[in-house]
Chains A and B, each alone.
Chain A
Amino acid sequence: DVKVTQSSRYLVKRTGEKVFLECVQDMDHENMFWYRQDPGLGLRLIYFSYDVKMKEKGDIPEGYSVSREKKERFSLILESASTNQTSMYLCASSLLDRDYEQYFGPGTRLTVT
């Protein structure tokens, strides 16, 4: 059974803190993605990666960075968390040539106070 896991289901951080969200997939997928999900806005792409050490900006990269040092792991970093980054963060992965069929993790609900 395919699996995408995220390091935390719930996370509470203070404004200004550096936050790391980790994602691991066991399907040997080339592509990995980070989205944020907010009510009424659907899923918005933050960053994605199609290979180790490769990354591309999505629609809303401001305030975020990513790291992909190993194929199975994709990290989202909030350099200095702000209250407007309170959201549900979803990680996904896919095969390189089936980028429309993405497998999602359960999400991390991040609250920044």
Chain B
Amino acid sequence: GESVGLHLPTLSVQEGDNSIINCAYSNSASDYFIWYKQESGKGPQFIIDIRSNMDKRQGQRVTVLLNKTVKHLSLQIAATQPGDSAVYFCAENSFMDTGRRALTFGSGTRLQVQP
């Protein structure tokens, strides 16, 4: 699969502030973009997805923005809490040679929330 990358490996924010985690992708054919959260000692957990025909999607305290012109994806977390401390992965869902779809994950950004 093609690469999915992140701009920053670690992001430190104050509790209560908003967090923005960025991701660059390279596969224009991807039809879904997804964010996962991985807490220490656990497997990744699905947060939110956005289809390629959308540019914004909101969830509970989270917003994902998709800019297809510059192939950029971001996750915004409002009023960041200590429980948001984790590694965040962006992923793209694209077609393999067999026609099946698979996720390609980025390398992750660690979010540290300071009290």
Q: Is A99 within 8 A of B101, CB to CB?
A: yes
CB distance from B94 to the nearest CB of A (A): 10
Q: Which residues of B contact A90 (CB under 8 A)?
A: 43-44
Complex interface: stretch among B13-21, B57-65, B75-83, B104-112: B104-112
Residue of A at shortest CB range from B3? A42
Q: Interface size bucket, B side?
A: 20 to 34
| A48, B61: Cα distance in complex, Å | 32
Q: Interface size bucket, A side?
A: 20 to 34
Q: Report if A1 contacts B (CB, 8 A).
A: no
Complex interface: stretch among A11-19, A62-70, A75-83, A100-108: A100-108
Q: Report if B70 contacts A (CB, 8 A).
A: no
Q: A4-B43, A56-B98, A59-B1 are in contact. Are A102 and B107 (CB under 8 A)?
A: no
Could you list 17 further interchain pairs (A-B, Cβ under 8 angstroms) beyond the known A42-B108, A99-B103, A100-B34? A40-B107, A42-B105, A43-B103, A45-B104, A48-B100, A48-B102, A56-B96, A100-B49, A100-B101, A100-B103, A101-B34, A101-B46, A102-B46, A104-B43, A104-B45, A106-B42, A107-B42
29 A-B interface contacts by CB (under 8 A)? A35-B105, A40-B107, A41-B107, A43-B44, A43-B103, A45-B102, A45-B104, A48-B102, A56-B98, A58-B102, A59-B102, A59-B104, A90-B43, A92-B43, A99-B101, A99-B102, A99-B103, A100-B32, A100-B91, A100-B93, A100-B103, A101-B46, A102-B44, A102-B46, A102-B103, A106-B42, A106-B43, A107-B42, A107-B43
